[in-house]
Amino acid sequence: MLARHQQATESATRAVRALLDVLLPPRCAICGGEVDCQGLLCADCFRQTGFISEPFCARCGVPFGSAALGGVERLCPTCRAELPVFGRARAALRYDAQGRRLVLPLKHADRTELTAVLVPQMARAGAELLGEADVIVPVPLHRWRLFHRRYNQAALLAKALGRIAKRQCVVDALRRIRATASLGEKSATERAAEVAQAFDVRPSRERMIQQRKVLLIDDVMTSGATANACAGALLAAGATSVDVLVAARVPDPRLN
Ligand SMILES: [Zn+2]
Ligand SMILES: [Zn+2]
């Protein structure tokens, strides 16, 4: 009797799922083509996406066209000239034309379901960093930007990664203590100057950061100026180390 009831429930569940698939067939997050399962890319879009794997800079994670570009130290020219404040940075994919199609709608079009595509790839690229981290912290948005955008995309990614890796996520550990101009068209030096002293750790969150290995999360890394400024604030508050994991990384054209 019970078995028959269970069977009936299961076939009803299957029927509902089949009906939902007809009404809302799972779609590729980039091109909208049909896929097998929600949160996947179609085969064509997957092939065109520049997922980052070795070789890359051992420190900042910028991808290399060939391993020889890093030399014996496996460092990019930027890190060789001046080591970043953070320990290691890793990124899931290149922020090229295809990468922008995955990340920009998350930023500007409320396409929060894109986290289902980005987060597993971030967990892959940052497996070592996630494994070593004690606590996960997102880069904060400025208050007026949060108001316009209604959510912080870095916090969405950080929370999802915290769930996967079973790590505490302190969403509001960092705060912007002064507004920064948009970094869009600025050079690396201008970016660094613009974001220096722009962040601090909220006094009420200091205890959650002190003597802990922090993994900082952002959607896009360009020059690394924002990551450096946040890492500086976290280290000043007593963090043992700060690594960085981002969804997408702007490639260095010298290293392709
Ligand atoms: Zn597609
Ligand atoms: Zn580097």
| CA of 222 relative to ligand 2 center, distance in Å | 12
Q: Which parts of 109-245 fold into alpha helices (H)?
A: 115-125, 127-132, 143-149, 153-165, 188-195, 206-209, 225-236
CA of 224 to the centre of ligand 2 (A): 10
pTM confidence score = 0.86
pLDDT of residue 29: 86
Per-residue pLDDT tens for 22-72? 667 788 988 989 898 877 899 999 999 999 999 999 999 999 989 888 889
Provide the 3-class DSSP secondary structure of residue 40: coil
> What is the CA(253)–ligand 1 centre distance, in A?
26
236 pLDDT band (50/70/90 cuts)?
A: very high
Q: How far is CA 43 from CA 40, 91, 143, 218, 222, in A?
A: 9, 21, 39, 27, 28
Distance 98 CA to ligand 1 centre (A): 11
The distance from CA 139 to its chain's CA centroid, rounded to whole angstroms, is 10
Closest ligand to the CA of 227? 2
pLDDT for residue 1 is more than 60: no
**Highest-scoring range by mean pLDDT, 10-19, 33-42, 174-183, 214-223:** 214-223
Ligand 1 mean position to 130 CA, how many Å? 29
CA 120/CA 128 separation, integer angstroms: 14
* Ligand 2: centre distance to CA 181 (Å): 25
Task: Please give the DSSP secondary-structure letter assigned to residue 93.
Answer: E
For ligand 1, the distance from its centroid to the CA atom of residue 228, given in whole angstroms, is 34
Span from the CA of 27 to the centroid of ligand 1 (angstroms): 8
For residue 110, the CA-to-ligand 1 centroid distance in Å is 19
Ligand in closest contact with the CA of 224? 2
Min mean pLDDT across 135-149, 216-230, 240-254 is at: 135-149
Tokens of 59: 């420190």
Instruction: Spell out which residues have Cβ within 5 A of ligand 1, the ion.
Output: 28, 30-31, 33, 42, 45
The mean predicted confidence, pLDDT, of the chain is 88
Which ligand is located closest to the Cα atom of residue 87?
Answer: 2
Maximum separation of any 2 CA atoms in the chain, in Å: 74
Q: pLDDT higher for 17 or 154?
A: 154
- Summarize pLDDT for 64-105 with one digit per residue, the tens: 989 888 889 999 999 999 999 999 999 999 999 999 999 998
CA of 228 from ligand 2 middle (Å) equals 13
The residue written with tokens 């220096």 in the block is: 196
pLDDT computed for residue 154 by the predictor: 94
**Ligand 2 centroid distance, CA of 72 (Å):** 13
d(CA 68, CA 73): 10
| Ligand 2 geometric centre to CA of 79 (Å) | 4
- At 19, the pLDDT band (50, 70, 90 cuts) reads low
pLDDT at 143 over 70: no
Arithmetic mean of pLDDT, 225-254: 94
Region 197-225 average pLDDT: 95
Distance 30 CA to ligand 1 centre (A): 5
